[in-house]
C-alpha cells in the first residue's frame, strides 16, 4: 500500500513540473494507492488557486476535476480522517523544528494510522517528516 499525497495527485492530473515522472511512476505501480479524504478538499483548493492565478481556466478546472473523480473512484482508496488524526497532526505542527504544515501533517497522521510503509509525495518537508515516521518516500 502506498499513501499518495495531494502534490502527486495534482502533478498526475494537471501539467506541472514533475508530471512526467509522476505519470511514469503511476503507470508502473501495482500497489494499492490510498490517500486521506482530505485530498478531495486540497485538490479542489489547488484548482481554485490555479484559476485565480490564471494558470488554468474554468473549463480546464472542470476537466481536471473529472479526471480526479475518476482516479478517486477507480485507483485511489480514500481513507477517513478521524479525530485522532487531527490530534496527532496538531502535535507535529506545534513542533516548529519539524517544518511540517497542517495539511501535510494531517496526511501523515492518516498514513501512519493506516500503517503505510511508503508515501508518494513531491513535498520535500513532507518527505523528510515521513522518514522520521519510518514511512519511505517514493522516488518519483
Cα 128 from Cα 103, distance rounded (Å): 15
Report pLDDT for 17. 85
Superfamily of domain 2-137: 5'-nuclease (3.40.50.1010)
> Domain coordinates of the chain in residue numbers?
2-137
- The mean pLDDT values, 10 residues at a time, for the chain of 140 residues are 96 93 94 95 96 95 97 95 95 85 93 96 91 91
Report pLDDT for 100. 84
Report pLDDT for 31. 94
Write down how long the chain is.
Answer: 140
Report pLDDT for 95. 85
Q: Summarize the chain as % helix, strand, coil (round to 5).
A: 60, 10, 30
Amino acid at each position: 500500500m502506498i499513501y499518495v499525497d495531494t502534490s502527486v495527485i495534482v502533478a498526475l492530473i494537471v501539467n506541472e513540473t514533475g508530471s512526467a515522472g509522476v505519470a511514469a511512476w503511476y503507470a508502473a505501480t501495482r500497489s494499492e494507492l490510498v490517500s486521506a479524504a482530505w485530498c478531495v478538499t486540497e485538490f479542489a483548493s489547488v484548482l481554485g488557486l490555479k484559476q485565480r492565478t490564471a494558470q488554468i481556466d474554468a473549463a480546464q478546472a472542470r476537466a481536471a476535476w473529472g479526471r480526479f473523480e475518476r482516479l478517486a473512484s477507480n485507483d485511489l482508496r480514500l481513507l477517513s480522517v478521524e479525530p485522532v488524526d487531527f490530534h496527532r497532526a496538531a502535535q507535529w505542527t506545534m513542533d516548529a523544528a519539524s517544518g511540517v504544515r497542517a495539511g501535510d501533517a494531517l496526511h501523515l497522521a492518516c498514513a501512519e494510522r493506516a500503517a503505510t510503509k511508503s508515501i508518494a509525495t513531491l513535498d520535500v518537508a513532507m518527505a523528510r517528516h515521513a522518514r522520521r515516521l519510518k514511512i519511505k518516500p517514493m522516488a518519483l
